Amino acid sequence: MAKTVILHLTGEDPVLAELDQEPQPTDSSIRVSNLRRRDGKALPYLSTGVQAVIYPWHRVTFIEILPGEEERSSVIDFFRP
C-alpha cells in the first residue's frame, strides 16, 4: 500500500508524492509516484502523463511520512492545557 509523503528536495519547494515502500539503507535512489504540489496542483517541470520519478539520494534533503487512515485513528493529538 502506498504511503503519502512530503518530499523535500534540494533547492525546491516540498512536494507531495506516493511512496510504495520505505527506502532501505542500501538504496541509491528513491522512486515516487503521483507527484504534485502541496496544494494538489500539477508540477510545472514534469511532462504530461508522468507516472513516477526516480530521484538520486543527493537531491533529497529529507522525507516526511504522513500517517495513513488506520494510523490516524490510533494517534492521539497533543494539546496544551
Q: What tens digit of pLDDT does each residue of 9-61 get?
A: 999 999 999 999 999 999 999 999 999 999 999 999 999 889 999 999 999 99
All 3 cell numbers of residue 50? Answer: 508522468
Q: What is the pLDDT at residue 6?
A: 95
Q: Is residue 81 part of a domain?
A: no
CATH of the domain at 31: 2.30.30.100
Quote the domain boundaries for residue 41.
Answer: 3-74
pLDDT of res. 67: 82
Answer whether residue 59 is part of any domain.
yes
Please count the structural domains in the chain.
1
